[in-house]
Amino acid sequence: MLSTLRIRHIGVIDDAMLDFGPGFTALTGETGAGKTMIVTGLTMLLGGRLDRGRTSGSSTVDGTLSLTGHTELAESLDELGAEEDDGEVLVVRRVTRDGRSRAQIGGVPVPIGTLSRLVGTAVTVHGQSDQQRLRDLDAQRDALDRFASAEIGPLLARHRELWRERSALAERLAELDALLAERERRGTALREALERLEQADPQEDEDASLRTEIERLGNAEELRGAAGQAALALVGDDDGPAAASLLAIAAEALDRAARTDPTLAPTLERLDSVRIELSDVAAEISRYAEDIDASPGRIQEAHERLHELTVLVRDLGALLPGADGPAEDITTLLATSRTAAIDLDRFEGAEQERSGAASRLAELEEELSAAAAALTAARTEAASTLSSAVQEELRHLEMPDADIRVDVTVQTHRSHGRDAVAILLAPHPGAQHLPVSQAASGGELSRVMLALEVALSSSRSDRSAAPVFVFDEIDAGIGGRAALAVGQRLARLARHAQVIVVTHLPQVAAHAGTHLQIVKSSREGTTSSTVETLDRPARIRELARMLAGDDASDVALAHAEELLDEARVVTGKSSAQGARR
C-alpha cells in the first residue's frame, strides 16, 4: 500500500502532500490544475522519466510504501540494506533539469533500474496508453497463471523444476560428448604413454642422479689419485711420517704426563677420539678409491639409462604437458603423468555416465511433456473461467454485447510450458475476435483492462499483499451509465487492492473512500497547485463543480449529495455481497 506521496517542483505543483486511503482514492481538479502531474510523480517513483520542461530546477518525489504482506519485496529490501520504519519504507526520486537522476530506497542509493524492479512489484500505473497487460502475451499468460494460482502454481513449479534439471543434464551431456571426443583423440595415446612410462619405471630425479654419477665415473683416475694422496697423508707408509703416527706419538706423550697430572685426562680422551675418527675417515677414503674401479662397466650402464630417460622425456613431454608446457625432466614428466592418469580415468567413466545421463534425459523429456500437457489443461480450464469472469465484469461496465475470449495455443516449449495466452475481443456481435489492443476503442480498452483487473484481483487468496493500481483517467471517452459502472467496478477492485484514480467524472469520484482535490491558485503571475483532502461537505461542493461547473448551485449541490449517497449505498451493498461470497 502507498501511504503518502510528496511531490515538489513538477509542473504547476510546487509542493504537495497526498495521504492515500487503503481502498479507493479519487483525485480530481479543474483542467490544468495538475492532475496529470500526480501520475507523473508516481511514474517517477517507479523509475519513469521526467520531461525536462516540467521542472525549473530539480524535481523530487517521496513515497511511503507499506511492506505488509509483500514478503518478497521486504526480503529484497533487507538484502539491499534498506531501512524501514514500522513496516514502511521511504522511496525518494530526484531529477534535475539537466537530466541527472538519483534514487534512494530506505536511505540506500540505488540505480533507476533497481528502483523500477523493486517498487514496480507493488505499484502498477495504468495510463490511457499504458494497458500493457492487454498487449504483452507473456504478461497475459502470467495474469492467467495468477488468476488460477491454486491450480496452476504447483504444476508450473513442477514444470520449471523439470526444465532446470533437463537444462543442466543437457549441458552435462554436451560436456560428456566433448570428453568422449577427446578420448577418441587422446585416450589411446595417453594409455600407451602411461604404459611405456610404467615399463621404464623411472624414479624422481633419476636423470639428475645419473648425470652426477657419469660425471664422477668419467673422472675416476683423477678422483682415485686424490683419494690415494689423502689416505697417504692420513696413515702414511714406511718412507715418511703421517697424521696417524704423529697422533700416536702425541697420545703416548700426553699419557705419560697424565700419570703425573690427572687434569690432562679429558684432553687425552679427546685426542683418542680424534685418532679413532681419523682412522674411520682413512677407511672411507680407501673404500671410495676401491669403489671407483669396482664396476668397470657401470659408466656404460649409466649412459644407456640416461639416454633411455632422455628419450622418454622427449617423446612423452609434449603428450603429457604440464602447466608450463612440455616436461623437460623426468620428475616433471612423472607429475604430469599422474594428471594424465586422472584424465584417463575420466575418459573411462564418461561413456558410462553419458549412458545414464542420456537415459535420464529421455525420461525427463517424457516427464516434461506430461507436465506441459497438465499445464495446458489447467490453463485451458482457467482461461474459460477467466473469460466468463471478465465477460461478467464487462456486462456491469455497460459492454454487454462485447465478447471476450482467452485463447490458449501451442508455442515453442519454454520454461513456463508450451502455452501462448492471448486475450481476444469481439466488441459487438458478428465482429471478429482480435487482440484487445486492436479491437477496442480508447474507452472500451480502459473498461476491458478494468474488467480484467477486477476479475484477477477477485481471485486473490492473499489480501495482505494487495497491489497498488493507479489509473490515469480510465474513464476517458465514457459517461452516463458507463461512468457509474466504472465507479462501481473500481470500488469493487478496491476491496482487494489499493486503487488511486485520476478522474474528471463525478460518477467515478463519488465511489471513492478518500477524495483528494488538486487546487490551482494564481499569485503575482505565477500558477501553482496544492492537494487537499476533502471532507463530506467539501466533496459535495467538488462533485457539484464536476457536475455543473458551479459549486454554489443549489441544484448541483443537491444532485452531488444524492450521487454521493447513492454511491455509498451501492458500494456498501457490493461489499456485503462480496463478503458473503
What is the secondary structure of 336-373 as a DSSP string?
HHHHHHHHHHHHHHHHHHHHHHHHHHHHHHHHHHHHHH
Least confident among 31-35, 498-502, 561-565? 31-35
369: pLDDT strictly greater than 90: yes
% of the chain surpassing 90 pLDDT: 20
The model's confidence at residue 184, banded by pLDDT at 50, 70 and 90, is: low
The model's confidence at residue 71, banded by pLDDT at 50, 70 and 90, is: confident
187: pLDDT strictly greater than 80: no
Chain-centroid distance of CA 515 in Å reads 41
| pLDDT, position 238 | 60
- Averaged pLDDT, 94-110: 85
Give tens-digit pLDDT for 220-273.
Answer: 778 888 888 888 888 876 666 788 888 888 888 888 888 888 898 899 899 889
The model's confidence at residue 343, banded by pLDDT at 50, 70 and 90, is: low
Please state, in angstroms and rounded to a whole number, the distance separating the CA atoms of residues 469 and 446: 13
Q: With CA atoms as reference, report the closest residue to 293 among 232, 227, 207, 233.
A: 227
294: pLDDT strictly greater than 60: no
The model's confidence at residue 183, banded by pLDDT at 50, 70 and 90, is: low
| pLDDT, position 460 | 61
Give tens-digit pLDDT for 122-172.
Answer: 777 765 444 555 567 888 898 899 889 889 999 999 999 999 999 999 998
| pLDDT, position 133 | 55
- Averaged pLDDT, 500-505: 88
Of residues 543 and 54, more confidence is placed in: 543
Label residue 457 exposed, middle or buried (CB < 10 Å: 0-12, 13-18, 19+). Answer: buried
Of residues 388 and 72, more confidence is placed in: 388
Q: Is 466 left (phi over 0), alpha (psi -120 to 50) or beta?
A: beta
Cβ distance 128 to 473 under 8 Å? yes
Of residues 396 and 203, more confidence is placed in: 203
The residue with cell 481476444 is 424
| pLDDT, position 115 | 85
Mean pLDDT (the chain, rounded): 82
For residue 263, the cross-strand partners are: none
The model's confidence at residue 531, banded by pLDDT at 50, 70 and 90, is: confident
510: pLDDT strictly greater than 90: yes
The model's confidence at residue 186, banded by pLDDT at 50, 70 and 90, is: low
Non-local (6+) Cβ contacts of 302 within 8 A are 210, 213, 214, 217
Top mean-pLDDT range of 7-21, 255-269, 325-339, 357-371: 357-371
H helical segments located in 14-110: 35-45, 71-80
Least confident among 9-13, 154-158, 374-378, 445-449? 445-449
% of the chain surpassing 70 pLDDT: 86
Top mean-pLDDT range of 12-21, 48-57, 112-121, 324-333: 12-21
191: pLDDT strictly greater than 80: no
| pLDDT, position 535 | 93
| pLDDT, position 552 | 80
| pLDDT, position 52 | 66
Sign of CA dihedral 167, 173, 177, 180: positive
pTM for the full predicted model: 0.59
Least confident among 65-69, 170-174, 419-423, 510-514? 65-69
Q: What does the DSSP 8-state code read for residue 33?
A: S
- Averaged pLDDT, 550-561: 88
| pLDDT, position 234 | 83
Quick one: cell of 389?
Answer: 469472469
The residue with cell 474488467 is 451
| pLDDT, position 575 | 47
177: pLDDT strictly greater than 70: yes
The model's confidence at residue 279, banded by pLDDT at 50, 70 and 90, is: confident
462: pLDDT strictly greater than 70: no
576: pLDDT strictly greater than 60: no
- Averaged pLDDT, 2-31: 87
547: pLDDT strictly greater than 60: yes
H helical segments located in 401-464: 436-439, 442-458
| pLDDT, position 345 | 61
